[in-house]
Amino acid sequence: MSQIKSLRIVILIVGVLLVLVFIRNSDQNVFKEKAKTAIEAAWNKSNLLTFDQLKKYTTPYLIIDIGDGKRPDSLLFQRAVKITFSQLLDKANRKVLDEANGELILFADDVASASRAWVILNQLGYKNLRILTLRSNPEELNYKFQPDTTARLEQDSL
């Protein structure tokens, strides 16, 4: 007992630290996933979904339409909720995301919002998260560069 009494200060410091760690960990605003997971998932394109694949879906899913409000309310999809990109993490919207049943499928008119939203949600720890795309490989180069063998740097710079 006397030993514990003399260790009071040690126990106090460790206890306070533990409480602080728990508080920090319960902050929903802090990113906790490793950045590497986003790169890996994006690199092997397992996060992309085409319309054809979606048509064949039998498992439950929820489409998150990150529209800018110009399009009439989700004409395209039946199982969709509309969330403006800048309000993606509002309390009500996070509740929708948290309570969604099955896969979350992001859709936006511009690739930028969808990709950025995907990175943010992926790093917040949302699993089963995909982006709906029109093409199976949006990162394909549609043009072929033809080297101009007559072009010479030296001649021009002289």
Partner 1 sequence: MNVRIKYSLLLLGVGTILAFLPFHPSDSFLLKSDELLSVAASGENSFTVDQVARMVNREDSTIQLIDLREASQFKECNIPGSINIPFSDLLNPMWEGTFNQRNLRKIFYGNGDQTANYAWAIATGLGYKNNYIMKGGLNEWFKTVMLSRFEGEKISPAENALYETRFNARKAFKQINSLPDSLKSRYFKAKNIKQMKLDGGCQ
Partner 2 sequence: MGPLSIVSEFPEWLNLLIAFFIGIGFGFALEQAGFSSSRRLAGMFYGYDTTVLKVFFTAAIVALAGSQLLSFFGLLNLKLVFVNPYYANSAILGGIIMGAGFIMGGYCPGTGISAMSIGKIDAMVFLLGGMLGAFLFMETYPLIQSIAMENYKGNMRIDEWLGVSPGVFTLLLIIAAVAMFWIAELAEKKFSRPDITSDI
Residues that bind partner 2 in the complex, under the rule CB under 8 A: 17, 20-21, 24, 30
Q: Please say which residue, 60 or 86, places its beta carbon nearer to partner 1.
A: 86
Residue 23 contacts partner 1 per CB under 8 A: no
Whose Cβ is closer to partner 2: residue 27's or residue 52's?
27
DSSP single-letter state for residue 44: T
Q: Is residue 81 part of the contact set for partner 1 (CB under 8 A)?
A: no
**The sheet that has 129-133: what strands, in order across it?**
48-50, 129-133, 103-107, 61-65, 80-82
Q: Are 35 and 123 in contact (CB under 8 A)?
A: yes
Instruction: Please select the residue that binds partner 1; options are 6, 58, 59, 78, rule is CB under 8 A.
Output: 6
Cβ-based burial of 121 (10 A; exposed 0-12, middle 13-18, buried ≥19): buried
Nearest approach, Cβ of residue 5 and partner 2 (Å): 22
One-letter amino acid of 53? Q
Hey, which residues between 48 and 77 contact partner 1 (CB under 8 A)?
none
Q: Which CB, 34 or 95, lies closer to partner 1?
A: 34
